């Protein structure tokens, strides 16, 4: 499984996304955003996913990072 962390514009966006992915049986957890990353709201969702990330992108996501060996690779930024 590939691990990701999604950052959001608002707390409510983070909660909405976490409910959305849990509804798709995707393992996820709300968490504080790591200091290495910046976020408007300070809350992120860490999750595991192996399909195309486009399947779960929603408007509330500010940016998305792939996590590999405790390093973060930005793979998506909202327009």
* C-alpha–C-alpha distance, residues 76 and 57, integer Å: 9
Instruction: Indicate the pLDDT class of residue 5, thresholds 50, 70 and 90.
Output: very high
Helix residue ranges, H only, the chain: 11-23
Mean of all residue pLDDT scores within the chain: 93
Order of strands, sheet of 28-32, starting from the edge strand that comes earlier in the sequence: 28-32, 43-49, 2-8, 61-68, 71-77
Q: Per mean pLDDT, which range of 16-20, 37-41, 51-55, 74-78 is the poorest?
A: 37-41
* C-alpha–C-alpha distance, residues 42 and 54, integer Å: 23
Q: Where are the domains of the chain?
A: 2-77
Q: What is the DSSP letter of 23?
A: H
Q: What is the pLDDT of residue 38?
A: 77
* pTM, entire model: 0.92
* C-alpha–C-alpha distance, residues 13 and 2, integer Å: 22
């Amino acid at each position: 499984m590939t691990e990701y962390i999604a950052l959001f514009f608002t707390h409510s966006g983070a909660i909405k996304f976490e409910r959305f992915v849990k509804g798709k049986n995707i393992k996820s957890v709300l968490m504080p955003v790591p200091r290495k990353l910046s976020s408007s709201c300070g809350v992120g969702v860490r999750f595991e996913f192996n399909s195309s990330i486009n399947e779960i992108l929603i408007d509330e996501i500010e940016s998305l990072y792939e996590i590999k060996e405790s390093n973060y690779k930005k793979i998506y930024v909202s327009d």
